[in-house]
Amino acid sequence: MKEIVCIETSFVSLLVADPSRDVSVAGNQQVSRDWWRWRRAAFACVTSDETLMEAARGNTRQVQLRLEALAGLPSLPTSFAAAELALRFLATGSLPPAAKVDAVHLAVATLATADYLLTWNCRHLANAQILRRLDREATRQGWSLPKVCTPLDLMGE
């Protein structure tokens, strides 16, 4: 059985974005495209209703490209339990109130027992200090966090 990767908005945004002139962002874009092309098939990829809602906002052309990339992936709903877990994550103080959507992404992936949450959001999600605190809360609630990572972490074989 393939490991489950939950695709978050920042990943798909970089995947389809116009090439950046910022060398760091351009590198992340290329890694995203390489992962999508060469590694995606090694995993059972899913997304979430929250990601689809975020992907549907903004520049019309980019919206179309994001939604096309996500088309065909199973979408995980934001259940009442996921919304509650997201609130518990926020209540730890590890995430600012403005990061509510990030808490939802993590909660949905956690309750779906995804193996990985794929993101480029290193401020709130792929952040070891924050995840350490959120992992304690997830454990208190009887859950295990997925491995939150960037595509670099899943380039593998």
* pLDDT at position 20: 97
Examine the pLDDT at 99 and tell me if it is beyond 90: yes
* pLDDT at position 157: 67
Specify the higher pLDDT residue, 1 or 134.
134
Domain that residue 49 falls in:
4-154
- Cα separation, 38 vs 40, in Å, equals 6
Examine the pLDDT at 79 and tell me if it is beyond 70: yes
pLDDT confidence tier of residue 137, bands split at 50, 70 and 90: very high
Q: Which of 144, 141, 8, 123 is nearest to 84 (CA)?
A: 141
* pLDDT at position 156: 80
Rounded mean pLDDT of the chain? 97
CATH number of the domain within which 65 lies: 3.40.50.1010
Examine the pLDDT at 15 and tell me if it is beyond 90: yes
Whole-model pTM: value is: 0.96
| Encoded amino acid at 39, one letter | R
Q: Which whole number is the average pLDDT over 55-72?
A: 97
Looking at the structure of the chain, the number of domains it has is 1
DSSP string, 60-97: HHHHHHHHHHHTTS-EE---HHHHHHHHHHHHTTSS-G
Specify the higher pLDDT residue, 157 or 144.
144
Are the C-beta atoms of residues 109 and 48 closer than 8 Å to each other? Answer: yes
pLDDT confidence tier of residue 27, bands split at 50, 70 and 90: very high
